[in-house]
Structure 1
Amino acid sequence: MNNKLNIDWDDFLTNYWQKKPVILRKAFSHFIDPITPDELAGLAMEEEIESRIVTNKNGNWDAKFGPFDDFSNLGEEHWSLLVQAVDHWHEQAATLVEPFKCIPQWQYEDLMISYATQGAGVGPHIDNYDVFIIQGMGRRRWQVGDRNPNYKQFSAHKALLHVEDYQAIIDEEITSGDILYIPIGFPHNGVSKGESLSYSVGFRTQTSQEMLSGFADYIIDNLPDGIFYQDPNLKLPQDPYRIQPYELTKLQVQIVDLIKTPDLFYDWFGKHITLPMHELNIVPVEPPYEYDEFNSILQTGAELFRVPSIRILKVGDFGYIHGEKIDLPMSVIDILCQNEILSYKHLQNEEARQALLSFVNKGYWYFIDEQ
């Protein structure tokens, strides 16, 4: 599948990224849907895959969560099927993500695919992430409002948070190959005109509060010896019940110094940010390969395929994958990051083959006939 993306990234980042929404007409000039509605429905039947059906019949909103085993009672209008992280499970659909890999990959979340019938959508809402919505078959009308921190949100259903009426700054239909980019915080509403498929490439970062909580857990696990406040130059205060400003400053510095310690923060962030946000199709090898067997298979010309959308990133002097540190030279880590398909020619270093053997046995890479 070779859907070629036509975007002037310098212009886009300068004028639109996290600034304002935009429709990029025919960003994919000859778009071909990489998945069919029936295939999407099949994924929604799987236990491991997150899916939901949203209906808006007669003004009543409802949402049900998969897995699903029957779609026959839904009718022909006013319902949508949404499946998360399709790039983890469908190789052809995952190719849609490739053109967006120039954006920092630690911010990438997943590819969500939506099939909608006539009049269907999920209602007006605000997302906490940036999204490129690629229109596949059919067409949808999108109404996008301006960013405003004072919008009121309400539960149209316990699983659907909607936003009050807003003035649209974009009110247009998009058709096959068009992309609607919506930055975080802009309200929007899409309504299908007949049957349609749309593909949402999402970029999300965690809040500072979430990251601080994660880092605190890491510190507890990795610094077993507590760091106590000490004040060897203590002078008797006039008011011993008042915490002195210099004491508060010392406490703040003590905590901030932990965050500013690269060995701690980088290692936490590398492990933390490469953990998946959704289930992955990881199948450990049973029984695990021995090194000689593994090396022999590679030497015959067999290729190793990285599990689709497993998170592999570089932080400081190390690489990280799926919450683990990759303790290899950066030249080898670059090869692992840049090549989703590996062969013996990529792995001339025995140390690299030994490390990759561990990852293969854990299911992060696989031989095509073994998956």
Structure 2
Amino acid sequence: MQLGRLAGFDRQRFLAEYWRKQPCLITGWLDPSPLEFDRLLDLADACDLPTRLVRGSSENEDWSVDHGPIGKMDLPEESRDWTVLVQEVDKVDPAVAALLEDFRFLPNWIIDDIMISQAVPGGSVGPHLDAYDVFLVQAKGRRRWELADGSSFRADERFELALLESWVPEFTIETVPGDVLYLPAGVGHHGVALDEAQTWSVGLRTPSGPELLFELAETVLGRPDKAQRLSLERIDPAQSDGIPSELIAQARAQLEACLEMDDRQLGELLAAFLTRWRLWESDSEVEPEQIHGKLRAGLELPLALNARLALLGHGEDMALFVNGERIEAPARLARELSVRRRIGPEWLEAPDALEQLIGVDAIGPLPGPRIVSSRGD
């Protein structure tokens, strides 16, 4: 395994040389303002965000994990060797979500969330690997990263955390604010805070084959042309409980029939699934009258922080999918929404599409005061 290095971010070079190929340290790319720890804990509590407290070190092999909610009174008294992880922070904090604008060269539907890791010196979650790509943005302090090919290690079954056994790194690097470490899926990594550190983890995730099969089953379950049941044509009375080879062949044929769909049908199934899959549900509601009023006043409205979208097709045949639904919008508006992620007055000319966006809670928050409603690196 090799480690690439970039001084500043070059999108074309990154995609050509490093994306899905090898880890890469990008220095001087992103330097977000760290979130105050009290603010992070308050957001996790108010918005019921998935939260974990991880304690331990590789030296002592004493890893433990507590699942949230976690408040200030739950934090360890020790000054070393613990970390708090809060997932989905981008869904509830616009300043955190703003970091994702630097990742718009990637498909919107691949971006899972921003998880924030707050660690004291020595804080870590142990050596592990992820089944998805991740960008690790150093927002505060310093962190030492050890990297190795994850396929050469076995899982350590002693702990609840999915750790790697007998960890031996191939590379060791140190990140400071402004640095971003990109890790393709399957790269083993072990990050240890060298002082009080905060790391923002931008996780990228796509569904697995079994998850796609579940979606396919949901899609074809109600279709009459796929409702044919197994038919037992021949029974051996001497062994009536036996499953004959003809039934196995029939089952295979029926499963293959469920998979029969052209590229358009499969594309629509995939676009709907990718924009609905792992969708973060928000409790905030925006009244349609408010949206229409703002648009008539000439204002532009942002997409909701949790909105997921995808484009399917090309030219005037391009289709827009948002939060699992196909939005019947003109191709021009679809392309513009994908780039700018804002709704302007021109959407009043496509009232049906606008109503669809409102119906899938894709618009908001509106300009003005905002009320906040209530992974491992």
- TM-score (ref. length: structure 2): 0.82
Q: CA–CA distance in 2 between the matches of 1:253 and 1:226?
A: 11
Quote how far apart the aligned CAs of 1:265 are: 1.9
TM-score, normalised with respect to structure 1? 0.83
Equivalence for 1:200: 201
**1:220-369 alignment, distance < 5 Å:** 220-221=221-222, 223-226=223-226, 228=228, 242-243=245-246, 254-257=257-260, 260-277=261-278, 279-285=280-286, 288-290=287-289, 294-316=291-313, 317-344=318-345, 346-347=346-347, 349=349, 352-360=350-358, 363-366=361-364, 367-369=366-368
Distance 1:358 1:22 in 2: 41
| Distance 1:98-1:244 versus aligned 2 partners, 3 A rule | same
- Structure 1's unaligned 5+ residue stretches are 231-240
Offset at residue 301 of structure 1 (A) = 3.0
Q: CA deviation at 1:118?
A: 0.7
**Cα shift readout 1:139-184 (whole Å, capped 9, x = no counterpart):** 0010011242x521023432x1100124322211111111111111
One of 81, 86, 102 as aligned partner of 2:84: 81
Structure 1 residue 55 corresponds to structure 2 residue 55: yes
Flag the 1:32–1:213 CA change in 2: closer, same or farther, 3 A: closer
User: Structure 2 vs 1, CA of residues 147 and 67 (structure 1 numbering), >3 Å: closer, same or farther?
Assistant: closer
Q: Which deviates more, 70-79 or 318-327?
A: 70-79
Give the Cα–Cα distance (whole angstroms) in 2 for the partners of residues 360 and 252 of structure 1.
37
C-alpha deviation, 1:296, in angstroms: 4.0
Identity within the alignment, %: 27
Let me know the Cα RMSD of the aligned residues.
2.9
Q: Is the CA contact 2:8–2:27 (under 8 Å) kept in the aligned structure 1?
A: no
Listed as ranges, the gaps of 5+ residues in structure 2 are 1-6, 231-243, 371-377
Residue equivalent to 1:233? none
**Corresponding residue for 1:234?**
none
Instruction: Report the alpha carbon displacement of residue 330 of structure 1 after superposing the two structures with TM.
Output: 1.5
Q: Hey, what's the Cα distance between the residues in 2 that align with 1:90 and 1:170? A: 34
Decide whether the 8 Å contact of 1:282 with 1:363 is kept in 2.
no
Secondary structure in 2 matching 1:44: helix
Q: Judging changes above 3 Å, is the alpha-carbon distance between structure 1 residues 296 and 89 closer, same or farther for their aligned structure 2 residues?
A: closer
Distance 1:270 1:181 in 2: 26
Q: Secondary structure at the match of 2:338?
A: helix
CA pair 32-253 structure 1, distance change in 2 beyond 3 A: closer
Cα-to-partner distance string for 1:74-129 (whole Å, 9 max, x where unaligned): 12221111111111111111121111110222222111111100101100111111
